[in-house]
Structure 1
Amino acid sequence: MFNPLNVMLGSPLHAFGLPARVAAPTPRNRVVVSELGNLGYLVLRGKADDTAFMQAVAGVLGQALPTQPMTVLSTTAGVVLWVSPDEWLLVCKRSARDSLLAGLSSTLQDLFAQVVDNSGGLTALRVSGPDHMLLLRQLGPYDYESLAVGRCASTVASKTGFTVVRTDEAGVVLVFRRSFADYTWRLLERTAMPYHLCIISPQQCADPVFTPLFEIV
């Protein structure tokens, strides 16, 4: 039977022709960007002090949800981002989304908790390069230098917002709404002009946390 949830979504940045603009970065390129498309995004809601909820989720993910604010946790199921005291975002392989959704829905069905598939609403970009921090400073007011590796934070940039994930010293991943993808890309590309933006493919991307989740289709 046809399941529309299994259809791979097209890139929300398709109008910008990013695949045709992929190139190998040179020393002149001070900012490098890669689109990490077609990942799975599951929103988890529950109380961190609810032992039954925490144990149920840990049984599916293999590890307990992080309770320390701004934590980024890598599990066998995917990457968990702490969003608020009662909300987490699980970023996973697209092919694993359905089984994770089913497993979490089943184990949480009798609990005061919720899991929602938001894979059709979010997308991500990896931003790196020697001057990626200078670019981020110009995008918004957040003190990006204070964000340690392994931490994430939600912030604003002009008229849009995103979650910035500090995956290593070399770069960050921005997770944002697909509905704001056009605006976000135009803002990023315009701001990055002085840094000679270079677009690379996910296969070229060296992000240690998110790149392993990307699948070639």
Structure 2
Amino acid sequence: MSKSNLKLAETFEPQARTGVAFAPYAQSPLHAFGLSAQARRQNGECGVWMNELPLLGYVILRGDITDSTFANAVKGALGVALPRVPGTVVPFTHGLALWQGPDEWLLVCERNSRQDFIAGLEAALQGFHAQVVDNSGGLTMVYLTGEHQVTLLRHVGVYDFEAIGPGQVVSTVCQKATITVFRNDDKGLFLVFRRSFADYVWRLLSKAARPYGLGIVALEPKPTHPVLRLV
């Protein structure tokens, strides 16, 4: 290194870092599509209506449901018993619990209250061989409704989506992505998938919906609905 280069290195001023406030914020993985600006009340103009339920809380719970003390501890925290029947959904005060496997459940809740919710679960499960994991940053959800809601899914998946009734859930594939699909009533389906696949899944669904007409449905909070009350 030459002397001139050494001199430049000695006189280089580091970048000032003072006065910069760190202000983290959460953003929907589908924010670039501007869905909120396109949303409107559902009508008969389109055969498929959908929209994202952005920034909800997603908590993975694992444990031995055959252990009655574990089951009772979770019931005390949730207010209801975890679903034991494969492929079923159970609503509770904070949201709803989706059966994912013999020892695993996906709990969906409001994002702002998830920390208190997680703390309550962890306190109830101290001493148990159990796991409570916040996966809120890794998942998102889309609501799908309209006359051709099931027909649309037939284009992008191999599962018999007509077989999903109210209170049922299934995990399957949507082309290259894995999705969890569940139904609360006969009006619509909810799709949960990884944030990293959000752009891919949304474009896939939008393309498949073109023959039927696609509308972005306005999602309004419904206090009595286990999912839409979380909006």
Letter in 2 for 1:61: L
Q: 1:48 to 1:166 in 2, by over 3 A?
A: same
The CA RMSD over aligned residues, in Å, is: 1.8
2:156 to 125, 139, 142: 139
Q: Return 5+ residue gaps in structure 1 as ranges.
A: none
1:193 to 210, 225, 231: 210
Letter in 2 for 1:202: L
TM-score, normalising length: structure 2: 0.86
Asked if the contact 1:34/1:205 (under 8 Å) is kept, the reply is no
Q: 1:8 to 1:50 in 2, by over 3 A?
A: farther
Q: CA deviation at 1:23?
A: 2.5
Asked if the contact 1:168/1:208 (under 8 Å) is kept, the reply is no
Residue deviations 1:39-62 (CA, integer Å, cap 9, x gap): 111100001101121111111101
Larger Rg: 2
Alignment partners' CA distance in 1, 2:154 and 2:62: 31
> Quick check: 1:211 aligned with 2:220?
no
> Quick check: 1:172 aligned with 2:189?
yes
Letter in 1 for 2:227: F
Q: CA deviation at 1:8?
A: 5.3
1:125 counterpart residue number: 142
Q: CA deviation at 1:64?
A: 1.1
Q: Return 5+ residue gaps in structure 2 as ranges.
A: 1-21
1:151 counterpart residue number: 168
- Over the matched positions of the two proteins, sequence identity in percent amounts to 47
Alignment partners' CA distance in 1, 2:187 and 2:124: 38
Q: CA deviation at 1:188?
A: 0.6
TM-score, normalising length: structure 1: 0.91
Paired residues in the alignment total 209
Alignment partners' CA distance in 2, 1:112 and 1:24: 47
Alignment partners' CA distance in 2, 1:76 and 1:168: 18
Residue deviations 1:135-158 (CA, integer Å, cap 9, x gap): 011110100111111100001011
Alignment partners' CA distance in 1, 2:146 and 2:221: 13
Q: 1:102 to 1:60 in 2, by over 3 A?
A: same
1:152 aligned counterpart, secondary structure: strand
Alignment partners' CA distance in 2, 1:142 and 1:122: 21
Alignment partners' CA distance in 1, 2:196 and 2:76: 33
Q: CA deviation at 1:186?
A: 0.6
Q: CA deviation at 1:121?
A: 0.6
Letter in 2 for 1:66: P
Alignment partners' CA distance in 1, 2:121 and 2:31: 32
Letter in 2 for 1:165: F
Alignment partners' CA distance in 2, 1:206 and 1:189: 29
| Aligned residue runs from structure 1 range 23-34, under 5 A | 23-34=40-51
